[in-house]
Structure 1
């Protein structure tokens, strides 16, 4: 599409990302369908992963930093006895080892060692940057790469099913956690090695138990009902924001905020993040109550939009 065909379109779409498509490619396909001038995703999924990928368009891209820190839940299949170069099924098997005797009780006990605030070494084939370059590029060039250990949060880890050399797990974690690294580390603790065979993200907070939409469905809506109906699938910022306190401002107060002027918060406003709304109930700014005032962190500028 020529650049002139893209317009300001605002909102969030919960895509059910298909297998084999990168998060960036999925985003660009949806952006072209919507004719959205600006877009971004939160919490990338590898091509071999499926499931919830929140896509943000227009002013909603300002939510990315907020949503990236939210909890996520995955269903993961870990294959034991095989080690791969990328810690998942995307690369060849480089080592095979026999499986130990396994039972559900011992596996469940081992899983609990990975719950809480833990140290994790990310896969070297990852987008983390070192010396200004993604680790995977350096690894593919054959350079010696050492991924830095870092602290991550695992809220819950549960064995759903065990079948021969495969474990199906439910993982609830925070930002920065690599399920591939978990599969690798579980295999090492068991002495047989392992890799991630399949991964599906069920939800990203604050979108628990909310429906996703598939690419094929979006294409059908565009083909049969048109772009305006397709854009109606977007969720407004006010709907998808975390459960922060919300303050509706008067027209005069809204003008003060939009002009970058200080605004005294009500005495009942507790310190911390909040969402400021204009008299029509539309998001005006993300702010923080500090020292009795609303201090804006990000403002929303709608203009003559289509979303």
Structure 2
């Protein structure tokens, strides 16, 4: 019997916009992609539930250094909520806790119930979530049957719209900030309607700055991989694409060397904050913190110092 060959990993830098399939955790999808690309280092920018599909940005190599920035970005989802039942996970993967009759609902009633769930709101996270309590994810505690008090946090819901309403199913569109749970929005909407609700379909359509993403499914990537790694690597975006929303500061060769060695350099004063720092050819060197006319290195890519 032939033993399965071990993956020989390689240095690889860039961003992949993965269309995550349903049924896999974000980490499972990440590991499949990492092995397909043979990338030494990889991370994703914000978990999707196993039930969910859609955009999961994958960072390879030096791109993992900007994963935290993408994690905090604005996101958009399309979801289907089924009225009349609540579950322990707030989605269709959970156990039904309570069933209630669904009243006759016109669009006006639904819109009125959705209105308080927009803007800056307080939201209770699902019990089955990746949030950690005492260093352990809540879902691990929930699976052991422990009593859990899920945290209440302030989140930003920019848009919460009714797309369609058929019978007991609502199709909804959500745009929100980091840390917002669509499952919680649907759960809370169901309570406001008096009948309960849970998510049956959830798809992430974009994450800033990738508003019109060209996503690749695992099946597509496997087909492309059969053509060779040159074709596969062509699916990657450069790290610069993940930083297009940040102000940019270009450095001349002399300042680049100082910056690459971790030393502050002079810059044109244009407001304080985090900036993307590039060389004269537009290659991003890393992130810097601008304070008036001074630019301090914050996170450097390995090529920040010229060879």
Instruction: Tell me the TM-score normalised to structure 2 length.
Output: 0.95
Structure 1 unaligned segments of length 5 or more: list them: none
* Alpha-carbon contact 2:160-2:174 (below 8 Å) kept: yes
Question: Which SS does the other structure have where 1:213 is aligned?
Answer: coil
* Alpha-carbon contact 2:76-2:175 (below 8 Å) kept: yes
Q: What's the offset of the Cα at 1:228? A: 2.0
Structure 2 residue 50 is the aligned partner of structure 1 residue 47: yes
Match of 1:135 in 2: 138
Alpha-carbon RMSD: 1.3
Match of 1:234 in 2: 236
2:272 and 2:130 map into 1 onto residues whose CA distance is 36
* Alpha-carbon contact 2:17-2:55 (below 8 Å) kept: yes
Q: What's the offset of the Cα at 1:235? A: 0.4
* Alpha-carbon contact 2:273-2:289 (below 8 Å) kept: yes
Structure 2 unaligned segments of length 5 or more: list them: none
* Alpha-carbon contact 1:33-1:227 (below 8 Å) kept: no
- 1:108-187 mapped onto 2 (5 Å cutoff): 108-187=111-190
Question: Which SS does the other structure have where 2:237 is aligned?
Answer: coil
Match of 2:272 in 1: 271
Answer with 251-260 or 154-163: which moved more: 251-260
- 1:68-147 mapped onto 2 (5 Å cutoff): 68-147=71-150
Q: What's the offset of the Cα at 1:270? A: 2.8
Instruction: Tell me the TM-score normalised to structure 1 length.
Output: 0.95
Residues 108-134 of structure 1 show CA distances to partners (whole Å, capped at 9, x for unaligned) of 121111110000000111111112211
1:161 and 1:250 map into 2 onto residues whose CA distance is 54
* Alpha-carbon contact 2:120-2:156 (below 8 Å) kept: yes
1:302 and 1:49 map into 2 onto residues whose CA distance is 36
Residues 87-114 of structure 1 show CA distances to partners (whole Å, capped at 9, x for unaligned) of 1000222211101120001101211111
Q: What's the offset of the Cα at 1:249? A: 1.3
Q: What's the offset of the Cα at 1:199? A: 0.3
* Alpha-carbon contact 2:15-2:60 (below 8 Å) kept: yes
* Alpha-carbon contact 1:59-1:302 (below 8 Å) kept: no
Match of 1:294 in 2: 295
1:109 and 1:192 map into 2 onto residues whose CA distance is 15
Match of 1:37 in 2: 40
Structure 2 residue 280 is the aligned partner of structure 1 residue 284: no
Q: What's the offset of the Cα at 1:302? A: 3.8
Answer with 171-180 or 240-249: which moved more: 240-249
1:76 and 1:295 map into 2 onto residues whose CA distance is 42
* Alpha-carbon contact 1:271-1:290 (below 8 Å) kept: yes
